[in-house]
Chain A
């Protein structure tokens, strides 16, 4: 048997998933104005996804104007070019399509979906949004009112309250601790000039990636891009200087958010971890799958299956441009909230100190590898992943090598990752959002001093 023969034989013995990720051809180009364009041709459905990443988000909100990136994103589709807000909505919806924008922390996503045959019209609408948004006074007022209403409505949802308080309590003054929608006071202070300035500065080709995935031809897309966006003017200061990594947590802190009407408490516990481009991220995600990914994780086993304390429990690494966090999320009725929190933390502590079970690790690898093609099934999902590679500066073959990198994570590396990136129990931020009178005594007894706030007080909260 020659070497090539052995190679083939081995390949056949590998799990079917190992080399099976088939990606459509991807074309990448950069226009003279710095606009990066990515095109992938898929043929399954007669749809096309337009997915634009503008590289500025809530992290670029000026202090005191938190929520500006969100408000700007909301405003850009409320009238553009010669179309009023109503005409614009009608133009999109007459095609049966969609086109909207939403700010994130590091960037803003403008995306739309159309029938492939409507791509030229869809692109023209997108061009108007990116280059020629009207930002009329009255539309800014409407967007501001909507955002203020959303801030109020967010207080109704216990899980949202917990997320918001956790972000602020974990990240403190770092921009990553900001709530995307800002605060009541900051949103009220945002003017049309603020929105215009944000739009004029950041919505620029040299700060933007356009990804097109669907039943289109790359050459045709590129040609149309050049026509629609080739003379879009760049700006030397359009690429933001990013905040440094967030400060690690040096001592445990505990926040109890009082929701006196809640029969169930939301629980978050975590610490500062790593950025999206950290080489440790993928192996850490593999080992985290054993602890808190999927339905057969250790957290599910201990909290849900063995004790019926909760309906859901998970852990994850949230990874952004210059930093991120590790967090455990779960919930339980008020009476068992502290027991649930303590057990979640105990499971995680044991996990980071003991070697990772090789069998469980193997299962986690197979799970991630097996699910990977399912995560790239839709044009919008693929567009998001391709844009992510570009935005975070990941290797261009990130998707092609994903499965082999997952398969390479052995027990030693896994244990190192758990030790390095999952926190010790004395260096975590804890947020419990539930009925304080019922939870506080036990929480103090187990975790020491507890700070209690009303849910409204998470606006502008500092650790």
Chain B
């Protein structure tokens, strides 16, 4: 299938703001990532951002296939699949993907979130054709074999042990989402349940690939030392024949109303108590999202932020505190996480968090405090654009989650428009107990079995 019939029309929207990125250099210049935009006949989206400052390119390909697209019984399949994608297609056989990329001076990786799976490569300009060839080969012809599945199953189980089972924060996060969501697939962790990882079948893996790894369900982003027209021609040549498939069924993420606060206790061997609070908030595209971003910054964005100042310095109950609204396709949680100082309790933490949050709802934030939060958000955004990879990641993330990569250029204006009243309003609306789930860590001191002790004594270890 050729896309020649629409050769001219694929330039659906050429963003003309090529030099807009920080053109003014002053604080007023909006941060944006100019990109040329193409759509192949089979639906594959291509975004190209030109940055010639070094002879390197970053390629990202995003699939709208995260753990939100999974079902009970196959949790973790999106991430397991990400692993399988490195194990060979037709032209490039098993075990050569990493070899070929690295052999051309590139590095490669992938990641999976609740909303998406992404594959990335950072490489010298000259490697662009072979990198795209590798990507197209695995998208068109991935070898979904028993060997591939069994190999990655064991590796992913080790990854789960690393990130969740043997990591206090990871375990807290998993418990929080399981409690905060009743019906939405956001409830389970992207790495999946161990029982599901054990039982996922080859047929399920094949079906997942068939459904989600379609060109019309993907966004390719190239950023760096690359010519948009040439890149488009190359992508069309390599990906143009991959057939379009029926679009995946929409995800039903509707949640029953939360009528009261929920609490989950996490008993783990740990040294210090901690709490992770999740408030049912809004999707990334919701108009209240920017004000919640600002609220998170006011609460815990730096040492002078309200919760940090109060909990770490004034009352000295916490070693640190973190607040963030997760930007999701579906409404995600506004998270607040704090770890207690030795001798302090989870209740101490919650009491101070409640005080700080209600303070934001009670009265308007001072202009200089608001200005500080906005300036911090702007610089954080800028810092994400230091590398060609960072820019490719942002473009793809906005295309998938916000539905339009150009939305990254609107962030600053949205934040700047947030008023003290907006902050008060969203805090009073969303950061309330009725929308909250608390994961409370109950540290369990590990017992040292007797078998370990005598040996230590025999060799004279200090105790």
Residue of B102, B125, B378, B387 with most partner-chain A CB within 10 A: B102
The answer to whether A461 touches B462, judged by C-beta atoms less than 8 angstroms apart, is yes
The answer to whether A308 touches B124, judged by C-beta atoms less than 8 angstroms apart, is no
Contacts of A93 in B (CB 8 A): 301-305, 372, 376
Say yes or no for B341: interface residue by CB 8 A criterion: yes
The answer to whether B53 touches A16, judged by C-beta atoms less than 8 angstroms apart, is no
Q: How far is the CA of A308 from the CA of B161 in the complex (A)?
A: 13
Q: How far is the CA of A152 from the CA of B446 in the complex (A)?
A: 14
Report whether over half of chain A's contact residues are helix, strand or loop; otherwise say mixed.
mixed
Q: How far is the CA of A460 from the CA of B387 in the complex (A)?
A: 42
Contacts of B462 in A (CB 8 A): 457, 460-461
Q: Smallest Cβ distance from B201 to chain A, in angstroms?
A: 17
Instruction: Find B456's partner among A304, A367, A378, A453 (CB 8 Å cutoff).
Output: A453
Question: Which residue of the partner chain B has the closest CB to A95?
Answer: B375
Say yes or no for A369: interface residue by CB 8 A criterion: yes
Say yes or no for A447: interface residue by CB 8 A criterion: no
Instruction: Find B56's partner among A92, A96, A374 (CB 8 Å cutoff).
Output: A374
Say yes or no for A28: interface residue by CB 8 A criterion: no
The answer to whether A16 touches B126, judged by C-beta atoms less than 8 angstroms apart, is yes
The answer to whether B102 touches A451, judged by C-beta atoms less than 8 angstroms apart, is no
A94-B368 contact in complex given A146-B319, A366-B103, C-beta closer than 8 Å: yes
Say yes or no for A322: interface residue by CB 8 A criterion: no
- Report the stretch among A254-262, A270-278, A417-425 that lies at the interface: A254-262
Instruction: Find B272's partner among A45, A117, A149, A362 (CB 8 Å cutoff).
Output: A149
The answer to whether A264 touches B165, judged by C-beta atoms less than 8 angstroms apart, is yes
Say yes or no for B323: interface residue by CB 8 A criterion: no
Q: How far is the CA of A157 from the CA of B371 in the complex (A)?
A: 37
Contacts of B104 in A (CB 8 A): 366, 370
Contacts of A460 in B (CB 8 A): 462
Contacts of B452 in A (CB 8 A): 258, 260, 436-437, 440, 452, 454
Q: Which residues between 288 and 323 of chain A lie within 8 Å of chain B, taking CB atoms? A: 294-296, 300-301, 304-305, 308-312
Task: Report A214-240 CB contacts with B as 1/0, cut-off 8 Å.
Answer: 010000000000000000000000000
Report whether over half of chain B's contact residues are helix, strand or loop; otherwise say mixed.
mixed
Q: Smallest Cβ distance from A294 to chain B, in angstroms?
A: 5
Instruction: Find A373's partner among B124, B126, B305 (CB 8 Å cutoff).
Output: B124
Q: Smallest Cβ distance from B119 to chain A, in angstroms?
A: 13
Say yes or no for A410: interface residue by CB 8 A criterion: no
Residue of B123, B387, B462 with most partner-chain A CB within 10 A: B462
The answer to whether B22 touches A311, judged by C-beta atoms less than 8 angstroms apart, is no
Residue of B157, B158, B305, B456 with most partner-chain A CB within 10 A: B158
User: Which of under 10, 10 to 19, 20 to 34, or 35 or more describes the interface residues of A?
Assistant: 35 or more
Say yes or no for B5: interface residue by CB 8 A criterion: no
The answer to whether A369 touches B105, judged by C-beta atoms less than 8 angstroms apart, is yes
The answer to whether B375 touches A46, judged by C-beta atoms less than 8 angstroms apart, is no
The answer to whether A156 touches B168, judged by C-beta atoms less than 8 angstroms apart, is yes
Contacts of A90 in B (CB 8 A): 304, 372
Q: How far is the CA of A438 from the CA of B193 in the complex (A)?
A: 24
Q: How far is the CA of A340 from the CA of B239 in the complex (A)?
A: 40
Q: How far is the CA of A145 from the CA of B318 in the complex (A)?
A: 11
Say yes or no for B259: interface residue by CB 8 A criterion: no
Contacts of A301 in B (CB 8 A): 95
The answer to whether A262 touches B166, judged by C-beta atoms less than 8 angstroms apart, is yes
Contacts of B461 in A (CB 8 A): 451-453, 457, 461
The answer to whether A97 touches B379, judged by C-beta atoms less than 8 angstroms apart, is yes
A457-B463 contact in complex given A331-B158, A367-B102, A436-B449, C-beta closer than 8 Å: yes
Residue of B109, B303, B451, B453 with most partner-chain A CB within 10 A: B303
A142-B106 contact in complex given A331-B158, A370-B123, C-beta closer than 8 Å: no
The answer to whether A148 touches B22, judged by C-beta atoms less than 8 angstroms apart, is no
Instruction: Find B302's partner among A15, A89, A294, A461 (CB 8 Å cutoff).
Output: A89
Contacts of B388 in A (CB 8 A): 374, 377
Say yes or no for B162: interface residue by CB 8 A criterion: yes
Q: Which residues between 77 and 130 of chain A lie within 8 Å of chain B, taking CB atoms? A: 85-86, 89-90, 92-97, 113, 115, 117
Say yes or no for A136: interface residue by CB 8 A criterion: no
Q: Which residues between 307 and 327 of chain B lie within 8 Å of chain A, taking CB atoms? A: 309, 313, 316, 319
Q: Which residues between 189 and 207 of chain A lie within 8 Å of chain B, taking CB atoms? A: none
Q: How far is the CA of A65 from the CA of B281 in the complex (A)?
A: 48
- Report the stretch among B135-143, B147-155, B287-295, B421-429 that lies at the interface: B147-155
A436-B270 contact in complex given A93-B302, A149-B341, A296-B102, C-beta closer than 8 Å: no
Q: Smallest Cβ distance from B385 to chain A, in angstroms?
A: 7
Instruction: Find B319's partner among A96, A149, A364, A366 (CB 8 Å cutoff).
Output: A149
A22-B449 contact in complex given A153-B272, A452-B456, C-beta closer than 8 Å: no
The answer to whether B105 touches A152, judged by C-beta atoms less than 8 angstroms apart, is no
Q: How far is the CA of A295 from the CA of B269 in the complex (A)?
A: 33
A-B contact pairs, 7 of them (CB 8 A): A20-B54, A94-B368, A374-B54, A377-B388, A451-B456, A452-B461, A461-B462
- Taking A295-B109, A374-B388 as known contacts, 16 extra A-B pairs with beta carbons closer than 8 A to each other, sorted by chain A number, are A17-B105, A44-B51, A44-B386, A45-B385, A86-B304, A331-B162, A366-B104, A367-B105, A367-B106, A370-B106, A370-B127, A374-B107, A452-B456, A457-B456, A457-B462, A460-B462
Nearest first, the 9 closest Cβ-Cβ pairs linking A and B are: A370-B105, A308-B154, A96-B375, A16-B126, A89-B303, A261-B269, A96-B379, A296-B98, A452-B455
